[in-house]
Structure 1
Amino acid sequence: MDIMNLGICMTTHSLPTAPHHIGKYQETDCKRVLDLFSQGMVEHVPATFCHGLKLPQTLLVLLGVPITLLLVSGSWLLALGSNVTLLVILWLLARELWRQYVIMYLQADLVDITKSYLSAHGSCFWVAESGGQVAGIVGALPVENAPPGRKQLQLFHLSVALEHRGEGLGKALVMTVLQFARAQGYSEVVLDTSIVQQAALTLYLRMGFQKTGEYFPDKISRLLDVPTIRLMYSFPSAQEAGR
């Protein structure tokens, strides 16, 4: 399908291999959309914990603290107990990272999805349904402070329900955003993801997104060494114009 021939805000998109329907967000979708968003973020806690566990500084603390306590107190129980405590603290930090992320967006654009995404030209929010259930979501908003001469659209909140992964729905949702962006005259689509969201990161890179930078949005992400990665997709016409 030619990406240039799509309408301004797609209301349907069906996959030939699965009974998915991608349509514009409606108020009746609100609770299910917020639940999917929240659950999807919480799923990253174990991966974040494992990532933090592999850090050299974490391994050093897990080795150094018990040895120090054993040498000082002579108690193996105290030494082993310290490691359990450190692991619990690491888990709580990983959970807090994603808890704060969820709270931040639930108090921002997701407070009123219709107002945030559907009340102005050049933005949209899509919901994928399967069997009457919300199977996936994605949103897109214009970048307010885009570089001079570039019109950018930012992709937000791509999430696919666990039971519908592996069906190509994530790719279909990203394509929906790219098709919308091209039809609206955007030159680039940008997004933020994290190093622990490996499935999403792999999908974006395979679809032609390029890494443009990374940063730590808060102290916990820096402590756990979980940078946010900025990616960008440039349409061919924009790339040729920049040469």
Structure 2
Amino acid sequence: MTTCDYSIRLYKDSDYHTVRKLFAEGTLEHTRVAFEHGLSLTRVRLFLVAVFFVPFIITGSLISAIITFLLIFTALWFGTRDLYGSYVRHALSDDMLDIQKYYLQRDGYCFWVVESAGEVVGMVVAIPSSHPGGENHTELRRMAVAKSHRGRGMAKALCRTVIDFARERGCSAVFLGTTVGHQVAHSLYQRMGFKEQHSEFLQHPLAKFVDFKFFFYKYDIPTAKQ
């Protein structure tokens, strides 16, 4: 797929370091939104209030209370960041370790990049869906677009590329998962016709406390009769 200022093509080995960096940075940047979401929860706010007042009551020292609060607040930030970090570390050591073998040498898998002015600035992958009842479905994963190139329709074009890939393979739907911190993605998928199916917590000790969830969406590919 080509537009006036960018094109979507298959992944090449020369893209390896760029796409790994794009994926990692694009995932970790959602930490702030997820952290702010956690801070909006009543239980988290009460916990932080207790973190401040309990040391103050016990020691009578305002400085000790402030230091304790700042330490716990900082730990909560890095804990939230690790929700994304653990996900990134797993991906980089799993499917994104040998991209050529994992995505381009297996039936039903594919990896595309967006190239603009000779630079790789976006990516997306497709895999056979592992969701229950999804034997004839494709899953969209690892989508990322560099900050400097957002707002130009690249994410939408990448999403459409996966949908077209699934349609050509005779699949009936496309699944994807996104986190609470990726609010822009939620809006994009909904505008493109994806419907939210369910949500689940990431397997991480902090996930339930800060309400860190993956939200799963499904796009039903129209049949010829539709």
Distance in 1 (alpha carbons) for counterparts of 2:130 and 2:195: 21
CA shift at 1:67, angstroms? 1.9
Aligned match of 1:181: 166
2:223 is aligned with 1:223: no
CA shift at 1:174, angstroms? 0.3
Aligned match of 1:128: 114
Q: How does 1:120-199 map to 2 (within 5 A)?
A: 120-144=106-130, 146-147=132-133, 151-199=136-184
1:199 to 1:238, Cα distance in 2 relative to 1, 3 A: farther
Aligned match of 2:66: 80
- Conserved 8 A contact 2:174-2:219: yes
Distance in 1 (alpha carbons) for counterparts of 2:146 and 2:45: 34
Gaps of 5+ in 1: 1-12
Q: List 4+ stretches of structure 1 deviating above 6 A.
A: none
2:8 is aligned with 1:22: yes
Distance in 2 (alpha carbons) for counterparts of 1:196 and 1:177: 23
Aligned match of 1:99: 85
Deviations, residues 123-169 of structure 1 (Å, cap 9, x unaligned): 21101011111110000011256517x51000010000000011111
- Conserved 8 A contact 1:188-1:238: no
> Percent identity among equivalent residues?
35
Partner amino acid, structure 1, of 2:115: E
Distance in 2 (alpha carbons) for counterparts of 1:147 and 1:52: 32
- Conserved 8 A contact 1:152-1:188: yes
Partner residue of 1:234 out of 220, 223, 226 = 220
TM-score (norm 2): 0.94
Deviations, residues 199-230 of structure 1 (Å, cap 9, x unaligned): 11111111000011011121232232111111
Number of positions where the alignment pairs a residue of Structure 1 with one of Structure 2: 225
TM-score (norm 1): 0.87
Aligned match of 1:32: 18
Aligned CA-pair RMSD: 1.8
- Conserved 8 A contact 2:44-2:209: no
Partner of 2:6, secondary structure, is strand
